[in-house]
Structure formats: structure tokens, C-alpha cells
Structure 1
């Protein structure tokens, strides 16, 4: 009896196309499109810094001329792109007797089982990518267990900036604190431009900010206080910064819940930049993907020993990157 998974519809190319078509329903940073995807052909990227301006060095075919750097002091930094594999299995019980359902063919029915598995796996990759991207906005990219993968501030030899909003004191000039954040970001753009500043806040920071006497007064003066009866957690602009409550969290392999933003903290960053943010995707470690441009996700399947099911393998090789970590400002409520 022919194994249905040998059909070309379940090849690496077909499954990879299928998992990339599944929409990413998780991630505020995905919705903001702050760190757009940039596929690369290698497992490493090299970032060049020249006079404060950072440029990614493109790959070239063997024998072709290299890019010409500008004269002056330059620094090259190399970053290894993380490899994130995830496996699952389609058991015989899941596909047994599927031909009897309605008018579906066997391949259509098995394709539905495969699609359900791919969607679950895709969602796990999505929340993992959100975690990595949030780390890039904080300047410290962490693994699932909380260990450090890359400290961008150390890599770029930059001292991280923190602004204490002192929200516990009723007399604090919150607008002046916002101006200080804007000034720090603008000073570190290094020739880049922006069209605004966004700030993702922990629930504790957001509550302290909106409950501050100076901020509440501003709400009353805006549309006669109509904003006070609405849900402003989606974001409001005050002092030139759009503040938004962010509740991103996930559990690790041990069942521990990890919040993406610590209690009482917030993180501000510029919007509308050209090349300050990116998410680099490396190719999978398959024979078929050697020297190809990386995709956000890959999927592949093979039969188990004695044909006792089908192993399903997915992987992603992402590296969210901020090329100018100086524009990443941490805010604290204390």
C-alpha cells in the first residue's frame, strides 16, 4: 500500500509554502511591522559601523567584486543567527479512516490533519519570534530559558540609557520626562530619521502613568475628558510619545511564565526609521536550502521507523536586530 505522505504535496517545498501561508495571529511587534524580514544566505551577518552609520554587508557570488567601504574608522561586528527547530508527529490514528468523511479525497483529508499540526507549530514559532523581537527592543536578546543570546549594548559598546519617570511622586513633571526620552533618541539616531516614538509599557507602568495627577489633567483637557470613559490601553500620545500597554508573556519548557517586559518598566523606540531595525532570516540546514535566501519558516516530514507515523519538523532561523541600540531607552516608574 502506497504511503500517502510520499505524494509531492507533502514535499519540503510544499510544506514550507504551506506553513508560511498560515497567518501570524500573535505579536504586537508583528502588527507594528517594526522589524521587517530581511532574508540572507548565510548563518551569520556582519554589520559595519562607520561614523555612527551602520550598513549590512551584502553577500556576493564567488568571483564577483566586493563592496567598497568608505575611508575612515570602521568597525565590523559579526552575529550568529539563532537556530530554532521544533518537531511534532502525525500518528496513524489521526489519518485512519479519513476517506469516509464526506466527499474528501484521502489526500485532502490528510492535508487537513497536516495543516492543523502546522498551524499549532507555526503559532509556537510566532510567540518565540515575538519574544526575540521584544528582546531586540530592550537591547538584550534572550533565549527561551532566560539565558542571554546577544547583548546589543555590549556588542556595539554603548551604555544603555534609562529614564526614571518617578511616577510615585505627584509633583513629577511627566512631560519633561518625555522630552528627555525624545532627546536621547534623537541624539542617537546618527543620521537616521523617524516619524514618531512608541513606548511599550508593562501594566504596572501604564497604570502608574495614566493615574498620575499631571497625566489625568491632560486627559480632562482632551475632548472634555471623553478619553477617560474609553479603553486607552491601546495607546495614547502624551508629551510626544505614544504609550501602549503590553502584556506579552509565554511559558518556557519548564512551565515557568516569562513576561516580555518586567513589572514597572517600559521601553521606548523610534518609528518610521529606514534601516535601524530588521529581522534577518537564515536558510534552513537542509541540502535543498544551501545558498538560498532564508525564509521565515521551514517544514519537512519523513516516515517514522516501521512506518509508525510521520515525523514533522519545522524550524526558524531568525535574528531580530537593532543597528542603533542607542535609540532604545528604558523607562522606569520608580
Structure 2
């Protein structure tokens, strides 16, 4: 192999160090990732069993002292299997990309590492966007592939039907706060769990219709001298104890949230949103807990290039999908 490519035989470019490098590159989060909704955890397998329990709470009947207590039975449970997705990317670094950028007969490893790290950063960015796409899909109820085909229908998998609620924004006399409260109650009844708060992720038409509705506009007419009515509110504002924001994610021309819909999302519910990472399909990773990203390299044909691979193997899932309410106009 030419000296210009021999540097890749250095331990700095081993699967361990490349994997460490791609996990340490600058993270440019999408909106869902930045909210911290999803709990991340590595797993040692490529599938996850989610056990669904119906937690029953009941009033304990009063009895005479010394009487036999009321029996408590176990919760009914059923398990549903989910597979992680395999997201591999490949790239090629040609000898011509590094030859001439250093003195012949030297191994300026720092320069070569910079080329590798730039390529790993591009690969990681692509994986990050895909994970964001899958996470909003888990919230909406359908996780899609890059071509728009359905990888996972969350509601079908759990045998559930998505809950939908209209805010009647097309009617001026609608009491919007009341309609929002009805949606919150639908979620609370489905969850039977403690909720820290709610956030509504809105498509652009829905968001504009909500902001412009008389009941909402009137509520902010006197707040801070009507500041929200003068400025762009898409970054988010509070109404009826819900944080409303426009979600602008898009991939290959496909919007993550439909223009005329919004999704009422509970926050702070334990184990509701999970991201599990399975190990890479390398011999080195067998029996280990998965990491968010992996990278590996091998020499190309005739020593003219080095081939890079980066991959992630995530499962992004909402384990309590009926707690999310689809909001319509």
C-alpha cells in the first residue's frame, strides 16, 4: 500500500477509535431530540420486548379489625416485540484527497484525521436527521422509511386506535381553551400517569389558525402590551397550560407533521418515549450494549482509497401512544 494510505493502519483508525470519534463529533439536534423527550439506552440484542400492563387502582374497602384483607391480584400484561432499524452509511476517502497535502515520506496523521472526521460528521448528521424523523414518527404513530413506506405502525403494533380531537378553529365562537382542556383530559384518561405538562407540535396551517383564532388573540391582546401579536410566535407560546409551537421538520420534501394537524404530547411521563440502540453488526460488538453510532474503515481496491462505514441501530418508540392526541382544525 502507498505510504499515503499507510497511515490508516495506525490504531487511531481502529473500529474502537473511529466509533469513539463519531460519538464525540458535534451534535446538531433536531427539535424532538433537543426537547429530551426520549430516554436513550443501549441494548445487547436487535429486538426489544415492550410489556404492556394495565395498572389497576381501586378503593380499599373498610373491614372490621382482624378481618381478612382484600386480595390484590397481579396486573394483566402482554408483551409486544419490536425490532431495531439498521441505518448504515458508507463513504470513500481517495488517496488523491490527501496526497500532496503533506510532505512525501511523512505521516501527517493530524491532517488525515481531519479529513476522516469531516466525513464522519456528514455521516452522523444524516443519521441524526433520520433519528429525528423516526422520533416524530413515533409521536405521530407511524415511523416511515426514507421512501415514505411504513416501517412501524405503532397503533397497529399495540392493537390500539389513535385518539383524535377537533379544536373547531374554523368557528369564531369556539371556546378554544375549553376544547384544549378536553384534549388534555382525553390524554390524562388514557395515561393514568403523572404528567409534568403538555406540548403541542403543530403543522403550519394549524398553527396559524390557532394563533389567529379570536379566543387566542384576545387572550394575548393585553399580555405584555400585545407583544405576541406583533412578533413571530412560531418559537412557542403558552395557552391553556400547553406549550404551542410550529414543528418545521422535513425530509426529502416530506413534512414530518401535516400542515393541518397538531399533536398534543405529554411531557415528563416515565418510560413513555424510549430510544434503544442495538450493537453494530461487527464481530467486535457481539454481546455488548449498543452505542448511538459506530464507525469502521477498511482499505479500498488496489490501495487507492479507504472505505468508511458509519451506522446506528435505533428503535424509537412511544410506549403509551394513546396518551398522544391528534388535534385537527
TM-score (norm 1): 0.89
Say whether the 8 Å CA contact 1:98–1:110 is kept in structure 2: no
Say whether the 8 Å CA contact 1:201–1:261 is kept in structure 2: yes
Deviations 1:279-300 (A, max 9, x none): 1110000000001010111010
Structure 1: runs of 5 or more not aligned = 54-69, 252-256
Say whether the 8 Å CA contact 1:11–1:300 is kept in structure 2: yes
Say whether the 8 Å CA contact 2:7–2:107 is kept in structure 1: no
Tell me which residue corresponds to 1:118. Answer: 120
Separation (CA, whole Å) in 2 of partners of 1:235 and 1:72: 40
Structure 2: runs of 5 or more not aligned = 57-72
Secondary structure (helix, strand or coil) at the match of 1:188 reads: helix
- Structure 1 position 200, deviation (Å): 0.7
Structure 1 residue 213 and structure 2 residue 209: aligned? Answer: no
- Structure 1 position 226, deviation (Å): 2.0
Tell me the C-alpha RMSD between the 2 structures: 1.7
- Figure out how many residues of one structure are paired with residues of the other and give that number: 309
Tell me which residue corresponds to 1:163. Answer: 165
Structure 1 residue 200 and structure 2 residue 201: aligned? Answer: yes
Separation (CA, whole Å) in 2 of partners of 1:181 and 1:72: 27
Secondary structure (helix, strand or coil) at the match of 2:229 reads: helix
Separation (CA, whole Å) in 2 of partners of 1:157 and 1:170: 37
Say whether the 8 Å CA contact 2:39–2:271 is kept in structure 1: no
Structure 1 residue 283 and structure 2 residue 246: aligned? Answer: no
Separation (CA, whole Å) in 2 of partners of 1:141 and 1:278: 14
Secondary structure (helix, strand or coil) at the match of 2:317 reads: strand
Shifted more, 151-160 versus 92-101: the winner is: 92-101
Residues 49-64 of structure 1: pairs in structure 2 closer than 5 A: 49-52=52-55
- Structure 1 position 244, deviation (Å): 0.5
TM-score (norm 2): 0.90
Tell me which residue corresponds to 2:59. Answer: none
- The alpha-carbon distance between structure 1 residues 194 and 307, as it changes in their structure 2 partners (threshold 3 A), is same
Tell me which residue corresponds to 1:301. Answer: 297
Shifted more, 109-118 versus 231-240: the winner is: 231-240
Tell me which residue corresponds to 1:60. Answer: none
- Structure 1 position 72, deviation (Å): 4.5
Structure 1 residue 187 and structure 2 residue 189: aligned? Answer: yes
Separation (CA, whole Å) in 2 of partners of 1:134 and 1:100: 49
- Structure 1 position 92, deviation (Å): 1.2
- Structure 1 position 50, deviation (Å): 2.0
Separation (CA, whole Å) in 1 of partners of 2:304 and 2:116: 16
* Bigger Rg over Cα: 2
Separation (CA, whole Å) in 1 of partners of 2:223 and 2:273: 33
Say whether the 8 Å CA contact 2:201–2:246 is kept in structure 1: yes
Tell me which residue corresponds to 2:13. Answer: 10
- Structure 1 position 100, deviation (Å): 4.9
Q: 1:22 aligns with which of 7, 20, 25?
A: 25
Structure 1 residue 225 and structure 2 residue 221: aligned? Answer: no
Q: 2:135 aligns with which of 125, 128, 133?
A: 133
Separation (CA, whole Å) in 2 of partners of 1:156 and 1:49: 9
Separation (CA, whole Å) in 1 of partners of 2:264 and 2:101: 51
Q: 2:146 aligns with which of 137, 144, 150?
A: 144
Separation (CA, whole Å) in 2 of partners of 1:123 and 1:78: 29
Deviations 1:144-190 (A, max 9, x none): 11111111111112111111122222112211111011101111113
Separation (CA, whole Å) in 1 of partners of 2:228 and 2:143: 36
Separation (CA, whole Å) in 2 of partners of 1:118 and 1:91: 15
- Structure 1 position 258, deviation (Å): 0.9
- Structure 1 position 23, deviation (Å): 2.4
Separation (CA, whole Å) in 2 of partners of 1:277 and 1:107: 42
Separation (CA, whole Å) in 1 of partners of 2:187 and 2:44: 32
